[in-house]
Structure 1
Amino acid sequence: MSQSRSCTGFSLPELLVGVVILGILATLGWSGGSETLARQRLEAATRRLDQGIQRGRAEAQKVGRPCGLSLQAEGWAPPDRSLLAPCLRTLESLKEPIAAGDVQLSHNFPAVLRFSSNGLVLDGGTAVLSSKGTSLQRCLVMALPLGITRLGRYRAGRCEPDSSL
């Protein structure tokens, strides 16, 4: 009488190949996930930057008096040593900082961004945001005197329109 033994399980080479494949897949997933997270941080910071401008305009118009905001590396702040009143309601609604964590902000806005009592913007400029983990750079351009803002992609020293925004 012969007994047949069936072997179940994996051999060592099969197991090693499986572990290597899982490691490669995990590495690809991790790098793609960190790029996505960096882009999301960048998009959120760009939108908060734009929200600050829009809310400052709306507050000046609603209360019927001029007010100002100062754009710091960490986000919107009250004007420092200015005769212009800060847009306080705007600052209250923008609790989360613009450049939180890994987002870098550079801009050519004046020290105090001024809004007239009828909501016009008296200053203009460009802001560029970048984030660790992605090569994407976002930009915001504000034109005078209406304060129309345009969000885009910053490439080769220019803020280009981006249909994904």
Structure 2
Amino acid sequence: MAARRTILLAVAAMAVLSTASAAIYNVGEPSGAWDLTNNYNTWASSRNFQTNDQIVFKYSPQAHNVLEVSKADYDSCSTASPVTTLNFGNDVVTLTATSTRYFICGFPGHCAGGMKVKIDVMPSSSSTSPAPASGPSATNAPPPTPVSTTTNVEATGFGLTILLAVVGLMA
């Protein structure tokens, strides 16, 4: 009986670990700063962004902000009609759908000085269905702690249901 419970618990744990994981990226790492010193094209091209990943913009709100913009506004560094404006200084953006997203600094001259990043979001390797075609997901709330490039594992969905069922059997 104990061996059966151990096997069930191991299967449940594997299900939980395989159901949901997402990376958190600090924009501009290794310095992790959204400022004029980073090459964001090089930074973004060296990463594989997937749905449900999060990008974090860290900066001084007195010196910078983050505007999500259209491709045309990204190309021209136009701040006239942003999709989203973030100005907290520790902004988390969840990449909810497969798409290309464009971010610039809205302070005069900063975008032209290189403070712009294009994020190509690919389907998550663990996703079984496409993400909803909703608007951008961004928040001025502080990011989850700790913020790093490591993978965070969350118990959600089917895996959580199995784990709870197994724990109930063991009780």
TM-score normalised to the size of structure 2?
0.31
TM-score normalised to the size of structure 1?
0.31
Larger Rg: 1
Specify which structure has the bigger relative contact order, considering alpha-carbon pairs within 8 angstroms and separated by 6 or more residues: 2
